[in-house]
Amino acid sequence: MEKILRAFFLSLSKNNMATQFARKYGMPLGGFRFVGGESFDQLHKVVTHLNNDGLDVTIDCLGEFIKTEEDAKKSTDDAIDVIRTIKEKQLHGQISLKPSSIGLEVSNQSIIYNLQRLLEEAKKHDVFVTLDMEEYETCPRILELFKHYRKQYDNLGITLQANLKRTNQDLEDLQDLTPAIRIVKGAYNEHPDIDIDDKDKVDENYKKLVKTNLLQGSYTAVATHDDEMITYTKKVVNENNISTDQFEFQMLQGMREKLQRQLREEGYKVRIFVPFGKDWFGYFMKRMAERPANVGFAVKTMLEKIDWRRRRGLAPSFLLLF
């Protein structure tokens, strides 16, 4: 069933028609519960609320179906505007983005030009940037971009996926750069020769990657909602006297909010992954595919919101439920 759900959500994430529908109707039907908004005013309110609650953020600058130089430039301009907003509004935040959203699949010239100017702007405003990982076929190119630009910009991090067989070697190859790495389980369906097609083995590999990066002294973003992964991370840091300044937990906006607060109250740094932009649908479907248990977290969150409104006598309009 998990494989079926994963394939289903991935197919939706790549469906242009579904994305267009979500752009037009998705936010008022409940998308904003898991998305920072489509405007800077919406984003500012969401991030300010999280910051006031003691939570840092990484704003994920969304962009899907980027196929032309013009689209890539526009997406890069949007991300630069987010960087400037973080600085101007004095928000406690970083940005994340997929290289494909700024020209990876358009041309080498496009991705190099756009990434360079984005990193220059981020350095100018002291904003950290994390490159998201994508499908396996783009993995080598993303890693090469990171290796090249990390030498010039210490405000650049990268995401690695625990479900890929190559990731342990990739992690080892990056250590000379003292990298800041976000570790995720991985969402993409690949070939059996490429990915680890077993949940328990992916979990074990996730733990291995977290421990390896922490013990190397590199900054580690533990991106998970999984209690077992969180407990394991706490165990590693406690047993090895690792400072809380060397790692953080990352969770998706709208997911496991009680756990977010609990970790913060325990003294851990918690960063919330806040998607921003009209192309939030593909992002959200990939997060569901990454761990189908996220579906349960999402439904539970929405039901808690419904119950909260019901107990306060609010109108049970469908548009208010989420």
111-126 pLDDT, tens per residue? 999 999 999 999 999 9
- pLDDT for 243 equals 97
- pLDDT for 1 equals 56
- pLDDT for 303 equals 47
For residues 32 and 305, is the Cβ–Cβ distance under 8 A? Answer: no
Backbone phi and psi for residue 58, each to the nearest 5 degrees, phi listed first:
-125, 120
Distances 265 to 58, 185, 230, 251 between C-alpha atoms, Å: 20, 26, 15, 15
Give pLDDT tens digits for 217-239.
999 999 999 999 999 999 999 99
Where are any strands of DSSP class E within 145-290? 156-161, 181-184, 220-223, 247-252, 270-276
The greatest distance separating any two alpha carbons of the chain, rounded to the nearest whole angstrom, comes to 58
- pLDDT for 64 equals 75
CA distance 299 to 149: 40
CA distance 170 to 213: 11
- pLDDT for 232 equals 98
Higher pLDDT, 188 or 234: 234
Catalytic residues: 132, 182
- pLDDT for 102 equals 97
Q: What is residue 248's three-state secondary structure?
A: strand
Mean pLDDT is lowest, of 12-26, 29-43, 103-117, 163-177, for: 12-26
Q: What percent of the chain has pLDDT over 90?
A: 67
CA distance 107 to 191: 26
Give the H or E element holding residue 276: strand 270-276
Higher pLDDT, 270 or 312: 270
When pLDDT is averaged across residues 14-18 and rounded to a whole number, the result is 59
CA distance 80 to 148: 20
* Residue 318 confidence class, pLDDT cut points 50, 70, 90: very low
Higher pLDDT, 42 or 249: 249
- pLDDT for 313 equals 44
- pLDDT for 60 equals 94
pLDDT for 22 beyond 60: no
Q: What percent of the chain has pLDDT over 70?
A: 75
Give pLDDT tens digits for 256-299.
999 999 999 999 999 999 999 876 666 666 656 655 555 554 44
Give pLDDT tens digits for 25-73.
455 444 556 678 888 999 999 999 999 999 999 999 988 779 899 999 9
- φ/ψ region of 186 (left if φ > 0, alpha if ψ in -120 to 50, else beta) reads left
Distances 248 to 58, 135, 166, 181 between C-alpha atoms, Å: 12, 25, 24, 11
Q: What is residue 203's three-state secondary structure?
A: helix
Mean of the per-residue pLDDT values of the chain: 84
CA distance 84 to 4: 41
When pLDDT is averaged across residues 182-188 and rounded to a whole number, the result is 88
When pLDDT is averaged across residues 181-202 and rounded to a whole number, the result is 86
Count of beta carbons in the 10 Å neighbourhood of residue 47: 26
CA distance 318 to 322: 8
What CATH topology corresponds to 2-321?
Answer: TIM Barrel (3.20.20)
Higher pLDDT, 217 or 2: 217
- pLDDT for 29 equals 45
- Could you tell me the residue ranges of all domains in the chain? 2-321
Backbone phi and psi for residue 31, each to the nearest 5 degrees, phi listed first:
-60, -30
